[in-house]
């Protein structure tokens, strides 16, 4: 394609020459005759002329398919230049803003006068890639430091939180990769191993072995790294840690030789993907698959807290990963065991004012309760779900809702904070209350009574949070 570059400075000419060739057939048009001669001697196609005159462009033989790039160094004559180009038949016109004047104002001015002209500013064109490159160098320096620091250790522990989730396991695998270790010399460990079905399935499909760690065995490791979690999580168990990589908010009260905490990232795997990209390490299909799945699952398929870096890591990993394996891992949401608890919730459930409330009785694990709560939120006409059950002598209450009108966290705090732990945010909340404490406050209720009582709590809570107009209606009606 033919391109006419209308420039003033040699720097811009040189830059465009290296960017546009060989895709474009470029001719340069400059004002200064000596500059044109110099460019010509250097082997470029260049001519000079009065840039404000139409015949200069007619001589250049513009066609509607010629791409015209005009350097804007802030001069007032730019308008005349653009008018002359248009009169000579130029239609594909791009103005290259060299960053003169306050950002955006020049662009607005040109756009207002010439709506069919595209304005490309230097900041837009070079800013993002440049910043990415600088960021990558900083990451590279950091990664190389901890690589060196870990290189002479015999055995390394990569510690994860209890019941490691895809993000923790994928980050662990990636870190092992970065430290150029095998599973014999860099152990993925957790105090409590993998139990949730989808976590187990990922561990099995990707052959990830998570070793059980105790307070005693922790001392056997020469160096300790931590992913997707920070030392405060383990209480007084650890007196030293060498490396912490996490995307949860920075916690005070611990020191680490190296740390990389990025709370604005959707997953720890996103941070590890950047570490891998910054240095020259081979990313195996298995690691890429684990990381890709982890980013998807930690950001709830980009519905939660995902940002540009997560999407970028995702598109980088996608061609390296095994898509079939990911589909297999994702298909594990529904298990027979989970269906059984969904059935129980269906049998015991009550619905009032779009609130679905059910007490499912004893359950072997806590995760079954939020699973059921999420499940019923899919029902038509359900806006809130409140699922409760008994796990290890505790009443566990899981609350989910759609939309942001009323706060699930406030609901559990109102009724349960004084007798157990209760917390959460607008759309998701949980309370864990010792059964004895619940009974002391609300009486020794049967299963059905328990469910009725909790539904009543919800109705009371939702009514006191109704909009003032509705409340008036209620008063009039009564
Ligand atoms: Mn995570």
Strand-pair category, 156-160 with 186-190: parallel
**pLDDT per residue over 96-152, tens digit each?**
988 766 667 888 888 899 999 999 888 777 878 888 888 899 999 999 999 999 999
Q: Check residue 124 and give its pLDDT.
A: 78
Q: How many CA atoms are closer than 13 Å to the CA of 127, on its beta-carbon side?
A: 8
Residue 295 has pLDDT above 70, yes or no: yes
**pLDDT per residue over 322-338, tens digit each?**
988 888 887 656 788 99
May I ask the CATH class of domain 336-468?
Answer: alpha beta
Structure tokens that stand for 180 in this block: 């150029």
Q: Are 256 and 244 in contact (CB under 8 A)?
A: yes
What's the 333 CA to ligand 1 centre distance in angstroms? 18
Residue 195 has pLDDT above 80, yes or no: yes
Q: What is the pTM of this model?
A: 0.63
The rounded distance, in Å, linking the Cα atoms of 276 and 181 is 14
Question: Rounded to 5 degrees, what are φ and ψ at 429?
Answer: -155, 160
Choice among 66-70, 173-177, 308-312, 462-466 with the minimum mean pLDDT:
462-466
**pLDDT per residue over 246-273, tens digit each?**
998 888 888 899 999 998 898 999 999 9
Structure tokens that stand for 335 in this block: 């298990």
Residues, beta carbon < 5 Å, ion ligand 1: 167, 228, 268, 298
Band (pLDDT 50/70/90 cuts) for residue 294 is very high
Band (pLDDT 50/70/90 cuts) for residue 470 is very low
Fold of 134-330: inorganic pyrophosphatase (n-terminal core) (3.90.1640)
What's the 298 CA to ligand 1 centre distance in angstroms? 6
Band (pLDDT 50/70/90 cuts) for residue 64 is confident
What's the 236 CA to ligand 1 centre distance in angstroms? 22
Q: Are 316 and 288 in contact (CB under 8 A)?
A: no
Residue 395 has pLDDT above 90, yes or no: yes
Band (pLDDT 50/70/90 cuts) for residue 304 is low
Map out the domains of the chain as residue ranges: 2-116, 134-330, 336-468
Question: Rounded to 5 degrees, what are φ and ψ at 96?
Answer: -105, 105
One of 3.40.47.10, 3.40.430.10, 3.40.50.720, 3.40.50.1370 is the CATH number of 2-116, namely 3.40.50.720
Q: How many CA atoms are closer than 13 Å to the CA of 90, on its beta-carbon side?
A: 35
Crossing angle for the helix pair 197-205 and 323-330, to the nearest 10 degrees: 160
Mean pLDDT over residues 192-210, rounded? 90
Average pLDDT of the residues of the chain: 89
What's the 248 CA to ligand 1 centre distance in angstroms? 7
What's the 222 CA to ligand 1 centre distance in angstroms? 25
**pLDDT per residue over 417-442, tens digit each?**
999 988 877 778 889 999 999 999 99
The rounded distance, in Å, linking the Cα atoms of 464 and 196 is 37
**pLDDT per residue over 145-170, tens digit each?**
999 999 999 999 999 999 999 999 99
The rounded distance, in Å, linking the Cα atoms of 377 and 196 is 20
Of 349 and 328, the structure prediction assigns the larger pLDDT to 349
What's the 453 CA to ligand 1 centre distance in angstroms? 35
What's the 180 CA to ligand 1 centre distance in angstroms? 23
What's the 327 CA to ligand 1 centre distance in angstroms? 20
The rounded distance, in Å, linking the Cα atoms of 164 and 206 is 14
């Amino acid at each position: 394609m033919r391109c006419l570059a209308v420039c003033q400075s040699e720097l811009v000419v040189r830059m465009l020459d290296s960017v546009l060739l060989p895709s474009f057939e470029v001719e340069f048009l400059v004002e200064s005759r000596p500059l044109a001669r110099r460019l010509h001697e250097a082997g470029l196609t260049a001519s000079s002329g009065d840039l404000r005159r139409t015949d200069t462009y007619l001589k250049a033989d513009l066609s509607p398919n010629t791409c015209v790039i005009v350097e804007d160094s802030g001069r007032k004559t730019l308008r005349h230049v653009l008018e002359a180009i248009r009169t000579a038949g130029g239609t594909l016109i791009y103005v290259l803003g060299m960053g003169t004047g306050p950002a955006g104002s020049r662009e607005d001015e040109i756009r207002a006068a010439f709506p069919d002209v595209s304005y490309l500013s230097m900041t837009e064109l070079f800013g993002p890639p440049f910043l990415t490159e600088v960021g990558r160098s900083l990451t590279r320096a950091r990664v190389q430091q901890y690589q060196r620091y870990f290189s002479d250790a015999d055995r390394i522990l990569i510690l994860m939180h209890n019941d490691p989730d895809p993000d923790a396991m994928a980050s662990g695998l990636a870190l092992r990769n970065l430290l150029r270790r095998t599973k014999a010399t860099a152990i993925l460990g957790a105090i409590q191993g993998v139990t949730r079905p989808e976590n187990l399935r990922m561990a099995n499909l990707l052959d990830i072995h998570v070793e059980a760690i105790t307070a005693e065995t922790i001392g056997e490791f020469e160096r300790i790294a931590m992913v997707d979690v920070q030392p405060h999580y383990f209480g007084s168990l650890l007196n030293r840690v060498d490396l912490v990589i996490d995307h949860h908010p920075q916690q005070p009260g611990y020191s680490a030789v190296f740390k990389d905490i990025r709370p604005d990232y959707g997953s720890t795997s996103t941070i590890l993907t950047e570490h891998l990209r910054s240095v020259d390490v081979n990313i195996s299909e298995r690691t890429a698959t684990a990381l890709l799945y982890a980013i998807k699952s930690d950001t709830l398929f980009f519905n939660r807290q995902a940002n540009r870096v997560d999407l970028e890591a995702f598109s980088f990993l996608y061609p390296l990963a095994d898509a079939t394996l990911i589909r297999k891992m994702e298909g594990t949401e529904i298990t027979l065991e989970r269906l059984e608890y969904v059935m129980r919730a269906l049998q015991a459930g009550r619905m009032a004012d779009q609130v679905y409330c059910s007490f499912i009785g004893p359950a072997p694990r806590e995760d079954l309760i939020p699973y059921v709560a999420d499940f019923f939120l899919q029902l038509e006409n359900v806006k809130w779900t409140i699922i409760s059950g008994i796990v290890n002598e505790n009443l566990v209450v899981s609350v989910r809702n759609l939309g942001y009108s009323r706060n699930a966290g406030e609901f559990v705090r109102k009724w349960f904070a004084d007798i157990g732990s209760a917390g959460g945010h607008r759309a998701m909340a949980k309370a864990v209350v010792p059964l004895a404490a619940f009974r002391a406050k609300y009486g020794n209720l049967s299963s059905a009574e328990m469910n009725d009582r909790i539904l009543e709590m919800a109705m009371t809570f939702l009514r006191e949070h109704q909009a003032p107009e509705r409340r008036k209606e209620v008063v009039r009606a009564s």
